[in-house]
Structure 1
Amino acid sequence: MRTLYVNAVGTEKRVAVVENNRVVEVFMERPGEENPVGNIYIGRVTKVLPGMDAAFVDVGLDKQGYLHKSAIPGGEEKQIHELVHQGQAVVIQVVKEAIDTKGPKLTAKIEISGVYTVYLPHENMSAVSRNIQEQERKLALRELGNGMSGGFIFRSACENADLSIIEKEMKQLQALYKAICATNGSPPMLLHQAKSFLDRILHEIPLHTISHIVTDHIEMQQLIQTKTKSDITTLYRGKESLFSAYHIESEIEKALKKIVWLDNGAYILIEQTETMTVIDVNTGKFIGKGRQEDTNLQTNIYAAKEIARQLRLRDIGGMIAVDFINMKEKHHQEQVKQVLRDELLKDGAITKVFSFTALGILEMTRRRKRKSLRDYLLATCDCCKEGFVMSAQTAAYKLERELLQYRGSDYEAALVEANTHIQEVFQTLQSVLDVHFTTRMTHGFAIRHLGTKEEVLRLKNQ
């Protein structure tokens, strides 16, 4: 079971997912950076690419979207120019947000999600979640889907829900899609906004897997209770920020570093590049008590479990190469590979684990829908142009949270060292104190003094 920590105090909203007392996922949302995944637009085809069997579509976002012919109904048996043409208006949905230089990935095979089901208007099938084991229940749900037009995926929440409630939602989703298609307007235009930040979290993390939710905002507590229709949420009232109090902040900071120490003294090194991620496993301080082959196996098993967690926590996607410590025995390689696969079953992203190469490198891929944690929180260093430092946005939101800890105190003002980029972002946020800046720091920030306005101004002018 999982515990969710919802940090809603402050401008940036954050949710941490904890399993077995370990942080495994972090979700964040900033104003103006709402995730478009799931949104439905009427877009305009701007360019058809026969050589790639794809088209670019303007949906009104910063970058044009990419639509492959396989993502168009009937596209498997036709060429892209037979499906769309330049200037054509198309109803599409975002399935992956823009990452780096790539625009959002689009599909014309629309899906509309509810609490219990996912409606696929262009399909003619019924599928039931693997988490539902009872055969009679599976049969009843399939019959329900077969009795309606379009396709339906029955989510795990259907396991104990009343069939009449499920059927009601199915009809609502059909009506919603009909209303979306009937909307008049010139492309590009948003037709349907999929979900709020909280709705997306509760969609990705099934409610029946959540045992407890902790939040620091009373309105958020009430909203969660309304949406979950349960009393599993408690309100955190401490002065210290929620993520700091529950040691989540430190886990996020660790996830931005290359080296991850394991409990047994071994460590893994994670190197993210533009084309792939390379992970190196080292014995470190772990000596073991048996023969070298057994020590290597133990270390690799420890590492496989942690690698699966780090991929989720850092939201690393694309090609991944893992250099485990050399194992001479093939059945040990298979054992480590199976441990990794078992741990990845907890991951909501689609992953594929392949085989060990002749050099002992394990190859795998992981599909993600958003930026990695590093790309979201860090920026390329202006000085060396190679390393990464805290971005101005990240620093400003962090400063806001740190100052919020002094709300209700006797302090009136704060003297903060930060560069002009951080100051510009912070000016758009709300502060509980009167903040005055100096610009001595190149990266990050430092709170130099807390006190009265007169004290802070005097120190600033010294």
Structure 2
Amino acid sequence: MISLYIELKGLEKRLAVLQDGKLVYYRTASSDDAGQQGSYYIGRIDSVHSGINAAFVEIGEEKKGYLTKQKTVKFAESDHPNKKDIAPSKFLPQGQRILVQVEKEAHGQKGAVLTNLVEIAGVSLVYMPFGQYCAVSKKIPDLIREDLRTAVSSWLTGQEGVVVRTDAANRSLHDLQLELENLREQYQELQKKAQQEKREGLLQPVPLFWKDLQYWISQSSNGECYSDDASFLKQLPLGEGWTKTWHHGKESLFTKYDLHSSEEKVFQKQVWLSNGGSISIEHTEAMTVVDVNTARQVKNRNAEQAFEETNLLAAKEVSKQLLLRDVSGMVVIDFINMKSQSSRQRVLQTLKDQVEKDEKHVMVYPFNELGCVMLTRKRTKPMWYETHLERYSHETGFGWRKSAHASAYSLDRAIRDHIASIETEDVQIKVDSATWENFVGKDKGYLMSIEKDYQVTLHPIIEDREAPYYEIFVTM
């Protein structure tokens, strides 16, 4: 049974997916996550660079977006035999307004990666107005896959393209054709909206967690969905086998359904295995490192067998943690050293089989001479530690701690849960200045909204501290 929990009230939005009662997927977003993957923008080509065959595009965000000539409609429509050698300015005229979609979110000093070849994603289909091909999920059995390819291809016109998702195998051709027509209409509406918009900036955001939810809804024909936003819950494309529950109490959704203990597991460094072994997960600026540790007692057993058993369990757990924590980029796994080549091969194959189930593309490389395996997982957005932690220096070097805006998220939830548990009109808070500044919002907008919604007055006592801190210590 799949259970979806979508908390949209408060500064930080949260999505938790439980499978048979266990947390398998966790994502967060902030209220101003407009530039998330999949959002549509009206942009203006700011500067064109022949050396990288790309342009930087002004999209109304802090950083300009990056758009290559290969990701433009003009390039896709061109039938010139040597179009790869043509200057990018022919496809990306400086100053031109252009409809773009975010492929990869802004990160660090880099702006968002954009495409002019926009897509409209549905539950079972992804519509590509200029795709020119029909791709069907390899997870669908061969006979069904070819039948779907033939049917869907016959519905396409001109340069249209479609990606047929795994979920399509469980739907009728009539339903799929209706979905395709609906996606076409959405694209036409998007074009009209783009023509009417005069300024660069966000044209149409993708609803928070939309792609994540589409993925999980497609994994099962039945399940349960909980949210504290009735309108969002209503628009979710859930099948008849799904139930919807609207949470409208004062306490947060995660508190109501006791999800905090499960949520904490996402941030734990050490994860225990069923045989007493463990894996330790460390994030660095360059990569994520996973260290596999053997079970405590192996004296009376065949050591090689014990090491293989632990490594096999670790391979399965690593694949789960990649999905749960949304780890991306380079990952190095330091398995327990095994002498047997066949043991190494079994562990490697287990890891490959497990990551096949991942929603993102994962490339696994063979064992190296040190007994380590490297893999890469597609990056589309910053990882949680990059958005929730900050690096700081101390006497013995550097460390990581909760950032001020992450502390503000925690403060927000603590205040709302406190108000829900105790009837009060006044709340006093000790808090550091950075956390409070992140909490109150621009022009104190969020502070005013929470005081209005909950009929309370918040009284901050600002303290000068180096690290983020808060304490709700008196209710008057």
C-alpha spacing 1:270/1:69, structure 2 compared with 1 (3 Å): farther
- Change in Cα spacing, 1:380 to 1:253, as seen in structure 2 (3 Å) is farther
RMSD, aligned CA? 3.1
Match of 1:407 in 2: 420
Distance in 2 of aligned mates of 1:128 and 1:226: 21
Letter in 2 for 1:315: D
| Residue pair 2:217, 2:238 contacting (<8 A) in 1 also | no
Q: Is the 8 A contact 2:279 2:292 kept in 1?
A: yes
**Unpaired stretches in structure 1, ≥5 consecutive residues:** 453-462
Equivalent pair of 1:37/1:194 in contact (CA under 8 Å): no
Aligned length: 451
Instruction: Please give the per-residue CA displacement for 1:242-263, whole angstroms capped at 9, x wherever unaligned.
Output: 4356554234334334333334
Q: Is the 8 A contact 1:305 1:343 kept in 2?
A: yes
Cα shift at 1:328: 1.0
Shift of 1:280: 1.6
> How do 1:286-325 and structure 2 match up within 5 A?
287=298, 289-325=300-336
Which stretch of structure 1 is more off in the superposition, 388-397 or 163-172? 163-172
Query: Which residue of the other structure, out of 408, 432, 439, is the alignment partner of 1:396?
Result: 408
Structure 1 residues 445 and 223: CA distance shift in structure 2, 3 A: farther
Partner Cα separation in structure 2 for residue 12 and residue 83 of structure 1: 40
Distance between the aligned counterparts of 1:79 and 1:362, measured in 2?
A: 41
Q: Kindly indicate whether the alpha-carbon contact (under 8 Å) linking 1:414 and 1:451 is maintained by their aligned counterparts in 2.
A: yes
State the partner residue of 2:443.
none
Contact 2:434 2:468 in 1 (8 A): no
Distance 1:411 1:123, change over 3 A: closer
Q: Which amino acid aligns with 2:109?
A: T
Aligned pairs for 1:57-456 (under 5 A) are: 57-72=57-72, 73-74=75-76, 77-81=84-88, 82-133=90-141, 135=143, 138-140=146-148, 142-149=150-157, 150-181=160-191, 183-186=195-198, 188-191=200-203, 193=204, 195-197=206-208, 199-209=210-220, 211-215=222-226, 217=228, 219=230, 223=234, 228=239, 231-234=242-245, 241-244=252-255, 248-283=259-294, 285=296, 287=298, 289-381=300-392, 386-405=398-417, 406-407=419-420, 409-427=422-440, 428-429=446-447, 430-431=450-451, 432=454, 433-440=456-463, 442-452=466-476
AA partner of residue 407 (structure 2): A
String of CA shifts for 1:140-167, please: whole Å, max 9, x gaps: 5532333321111222343343433322
Whole-Å Cα distance in 2 between the matches of residues 65 and 218 of structure 1?
32
Q: TM-score, normalised by structure 2?
A: 0.83
**Over residues 363-412 of structure 1, what are the superposed CA-to-partner deviations in whole Å (9 max), with x where a residue is unaligned?**
11001211101112222337679322222222222222223223263344
1:237/1:262 Cα in 2 relative to 1: closer, same or farther (>3 Å)? farther
Question: What is the alpha-carbon distance in structure 2 between the residues aligned to residue 210 and residue 381 of structure 1?
Answer: 47
Q: Is contact 1:126–1:142 with CA below 8 Å preserved after alignment? A: no
The separation in 1 between residues aligned to 2:58 and 2:68, in whole angstroms, is 14
Per-residue CA deviations over 1:229-272 (Å, capped at 9, x if unaligned) read 55423456888754356554234334334333334332222222
With 78-87 and 120-129 compared, the bigger mean Cα shift is at 78-87
Query: How far apart, CA to CA, are the structure 2 residues paired with 1:253 and 1:126?
Result: 42
Name the SS for the 1:298 alignment partner.
Answer: helix
Q: CA deviation at 1:311?
A: 1.7
Q: CA deviation at 1:212?
A: 2.9
Change in Cα spacing, 1:240 to 1:176, as seen in structure 2 (3 Å) is: closer
TM-score w.r.t. structure 1 length?
Answer: 0.86
1:286 shift after superposition: 5.0
Deviation at 1:131, TM superposition (A): 4.1
Q: Whole-Å Cα distance in 2 between the matches of residues 221 and 187 of structure 1?
A: 28
Moved more, 15-24 or 369-378: 15-24
Residues in 2 aligned to 1:5 and 1:420: alpha-carbon distance in whole angstroms? 32
Q: Distance in 2 between matches of 1:179 and 1:245?
A: 39
Counterpart amino acid of 2:176?
I
- CA contact under 8 A between 2:333 and 2:372: conserved in structure 1? yes
In 2, the alpha carbon distance for the partners of 1:145 and 1:47 equals 38
Once the 2 structures are TM-superposed, how far is the Cα of residue 27 of structure 1 from its aligned partner?
2.0
Identical-residue share of aligned pairs (%): 30
> Does structure 2 retain, via aligned residues, the 8 Å contact 1:54–1:80?
no
